[in-house]
Amino acid sequence: SSEDAAAAQRDLEFQAGWFADPLYFGDYPASMRQLVGDRLPVFTAEEQSKVKGSLDFYALNHYSSRYYANCGEGCQPVQSNGWFDDQQATVGNVNSDGEVIGPVAESVWLNVVPAGIHDVLVWISERYNYPVIYITENGVDAPGESQMSIHDALNDTFRVDFYRDYIDNVLEAVTTGGVDVRVYFAWSLLDNFEWSDGYNCRFGLHYVDYTATNLTRYPKKSALWYKEFIKANPNPNPNITYY
C-alpha cells in the first residue's frame, strides 16, 4: 500500500538520512523532525554552515534488505527500541503473503536480496544529486561454514553467488541508473571477529584456521572467483576500483 511504501521511505530517512541529510542539506530529514520532535537537536546557523557539504563521498555499508509496513502512532513495532519506535513502522523478512525476502545466511539478520543494493544506490543518488559513492562493505557469511571441515568450507558457492549477484546489481545501477560508484570493498578479505558473533560467523574470502598456531589462511572458491573478476576489469566498468 502507499502507507507501507511511506513507512519504507521513513526507515531509509531514519537509517541513512539521519546521518547524510545534515551533510548534504544542513538538517535532519523532515520526517524525523515531525516524529522525533524536540528530542532531536537543532542546528545553529553556524553549525549548519560547517556541516553542510563537509564530505568527499558517500560511504555505504550494505548487506541485506527488509520488508516494511506502516504501523501508525501508538503501535508496537517488531523491533522496539527508542529511535526505531519513532519510525512508526514494522519490519520483517516475510511479507504479507508469507514469502521470505531472500535466502538466509549464517547470520539470522542477513537475507540475500541482490536487488536491494541496486535500489538503495538509486535512492541515495536521487536524494543527494548523484554523489560519488564508495561501497565500503558488502559481503555474506555462508550458512554452516563454521561447522564444516576446511575442505567443505573452501567450496563456498553460496558466497560466490552472493558477490556475483550483488555486483551485477551495482553495475546495473551504474549503467542504467546513473549512479556514480567509484570503489567497491568486499567484506571481508579474511574470516575475523564479527561483533557479538565473535568468531562463529565467517565472512572472509579466505578461510582462517583458528586452531592453527599461525592462523593459517586458505583461499576459498570465492577468493579465486573474485580474483578472476578483478583481473577482468576494466571490462565490467572502468570507473570502479574493487578491493
Could you report the per-residue pLDDT of 43-99, keeping only the tens digit for each? 999 999 999 999 999 999 999 999 999 987 666 655 555 677 888 888 999 998 999
Query: Percent of the chain scored above 70 by pLDDT?
Result: 96
Q: What radius of gyration, in Å, describes the C-alpha atoms of the chain?
A: 20
* Alpha-carbon dihedral sign for residues 109, 115, 121, 122: negative
The grid coordinates listed for 15 are 537509517
Q: Is 53 left (phi over 0), alpha (psi -120 to 50) or beta?
A: left
Specify the pTM. 0.94
